[in-house]
Amino acid sequence: MQFAVEMGFKEESLATNTSINEWKQWKANNCQPNFRQNVQPDPTKSCGPYHPDYARSHPVEPRYNSEVDKGNHDTIGMLVIDRDGNIAGGTTTNGANHKVPGRVGDSPIVGAGCYVDNDVGGAVATGDGDVMMRFLPSSIRIAAVMDD
């Protein structure tokens, strides 16, 4: 916030009536959906505060619908080439509702959602950001092109 104010932006709430009502409904529904895993109290029944549950530290089946439709995604990847042939790439993230505070998505992770090598090309990817951060598909694709 301090940086934005120093750059001339006024400090104001970005909450809307819609977002406030969604938050109230989420709280009334025991904070569901909730992406926390291996914590206590049970994240499917409570809003926390949470602490690690080391006895449950094992993979947990996802509790979300992985089917993609127009209402549950909006990630964008873009590659551009300027008149001198320089390539630039960028991605956005879908801004998942009710994510764990402090979670970092795939957009800022080099090679996950986007990778560019000016001598080779660029690649962008979309999908489950948590999976993409593990496998770095964009950088793998460019590395494969380099090997060809």
93 is in an annotated binding site: no
Cβ contact 44:53 at 8 Å: no
Q: Which stretch of DSSP H or E encloses residue 131? A: helix 129-135
122 is in an annotated binding site: no
93 is catalytic: no
111 is in an annotated binding site: no
Distance CA 146, CA 72 (A): 35
- Which of these is catalytic: 16, 18, 75, 93? 75
105 is in an annotated binding site: yes
90 is in an annotated binding site: no
127 C-beta neighbours (distance < 10 Å), count: 16
128 is in an annotated binding site: yes
Q: Which stretch of DSSP H or E encloses residue 64? A: none
- As annotated, the binding site for substrate includes 103-106, 126-129
- As annotated, the binding site includes 103-106, 126-129
Q: Active-site residue numbers? A: 75
